[in-house]
């Protein structure tokens, strides 16, 4: 499988993502005796913070480039593996991993287009009564950029909606999925969060919008789409001082394996 992620692009354009992970890390409230799985650990910045709070932390991510970066940052107890979040149960069985007290996930679950499969995998790797504590994109997340991408692709003869790699559920939809797959929902909330970007919309799009941009045939066409979306959003999403913002909507979930 090709790896569309670039750890260096992520560091330049999206280092705000792990920095904003502190709220869900606090909700996890990791204990010194606990064994925790970081599901979608990316470059390992949050995983290292988690490692200071618990006994063992194992980070998994589908991107080999991100896992290579995480291994460079590693200090102490964190362990990292490349693994597809849709096949967590297979990875766990093949690796003969021990069950986890908790599965933690920040800014990842919206990339899994088969959410029930991901939830069943998380259920499989938890101890009885283990908890899942996750934050990811919920209903209307990054709505303006998402809509602009879909529109730009539709205009060029592609099916923009079908190209979207993201799943942004409502609280009701995700609660139903959790309950249907063996979890008791302790809390779930959608939280809008105005988010300042490291760079600009084009930087954000090249880091996260690759599923759309990759289908365009030429670099010129890609540059046209980036410029079109930047200019479309500039009047409202660029502040007076030149800084760019996107309205993120986070879904924060705490659920227990039944």
Per CB under 6 A, residues contacting ligand BEZ are 107, 110, 137, 141-142, 166, 208, 248
* Beta carbon of residue 204, minimum distance to ligand BEZ (angstroms, whole number): 8
* Beta carbon of residue 72, minimum distance to ligand BEZ (angstroms, whole number): 23
Pairing between β-strand 56-61 and β-strand 245-257 as defined by DSSP bridges: unpaired
CB closer to ligand BEZ out of 48 and 141: 141
CA distances from 228 to 90, 162, 225 (A): 43, 20, 5
CB closer to ligand BEZ out of 103 and 142: 142
Task: For residue 87, give the DSSP letter.
Answer: G
CB closer to ligand BEZ out of 181 and 207: 207
Task: For residue 97, give the DSSP letter.
Answer: P
* CA 214, chain centre distance (Å): 20
CB closer to ligand BEZ out of 54 and 60: 60
* Beta carbon of residue 200, minimum distance to ligand BEZ (angstroms, whole number): 15
CB closer to ligand BEZ out of 35 and 110: 110
* Beta carbon of residue 97, minimum distance to ligand BEZ (angstroms, whole number): 26
Secondary structure of the chain: what % helix, strand, coil (to 5)? 45, 25, 30
Q: How open is the CA angle 165-167-169, to the nearest 5 degrees?
A: 170
**Residue closest to ligand BEZ when measured from CB atoms:** 137
CB closer to ligand BEZ out of 134 and 255: 134
Give the helix/strand (H/E) hosting 222: helix 219-237
* Beta carbon of residue 111, minimum distance to ligand BEZ (angstroms, whole number): 8
* Beta carbon of residue 189, minimum distance to ligand BEZ (angstroms, whole number): 15
Q: Where are the beta strands (DSSP E) in the chain?
A: 35-39, 56-61, 79-82, 100-106, 126-137, 183-196, 245-257
Q: Is 225 helix (H, G, I), strand (E, B) or coil?
A: helix
């Amino acid at each position: 499988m090709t790896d569309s992620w670039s750890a260096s692009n992520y560091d330049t354009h999206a280092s705000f993502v792990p920095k904003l992970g502190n709220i869900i890390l606090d909700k996890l409230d990791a204990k010194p005796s606990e064994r925790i799985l970081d599901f979608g650990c990316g470059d390992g910045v949050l995983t290292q913070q988690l490692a200071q709070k618990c006994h063992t932390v194992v980070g998994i991510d589908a991107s080999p480039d991100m896992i290579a970066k995480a291994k460079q940052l590693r200090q102490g107890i964190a362990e990292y593996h490349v693994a597809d979040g849709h096949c967590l149960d297979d990875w766990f069985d093949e690796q003969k991993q021990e069950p986890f007290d908790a599965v933690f996930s920040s800014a990842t679950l919206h990339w899994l287009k088969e959410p029930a499969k991901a939830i069943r995998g998380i259920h499989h790797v938890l101890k009885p009564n283990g908890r899942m504590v996750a934050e990811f994109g919920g209903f209307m997340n990054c709505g303006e950029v998402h809509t602009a991408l879909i529109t730009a692709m539709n205009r060029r003869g592609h099916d923009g909606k079908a190209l979207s790699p993201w799943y942004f559920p409502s609280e009701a939809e995700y609660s139903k999925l959790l309950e249907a797959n063996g979890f008791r929902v302790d809390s779930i909330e959608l939280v809008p969060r105005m988010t300042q970007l490291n760079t600009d919309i084009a930087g954000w799009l090249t880091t996260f919008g690759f599923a759309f941009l990759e289908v365009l045939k030429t670099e010129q066409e890609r540059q046209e789409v980036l410029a079109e979306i930047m200019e479309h959003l500039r009047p409202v999403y660029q502040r007076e001082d030149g800084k760019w913002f996107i309205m993120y909507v986070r879904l924060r979930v705490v659920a227990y394996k039944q």
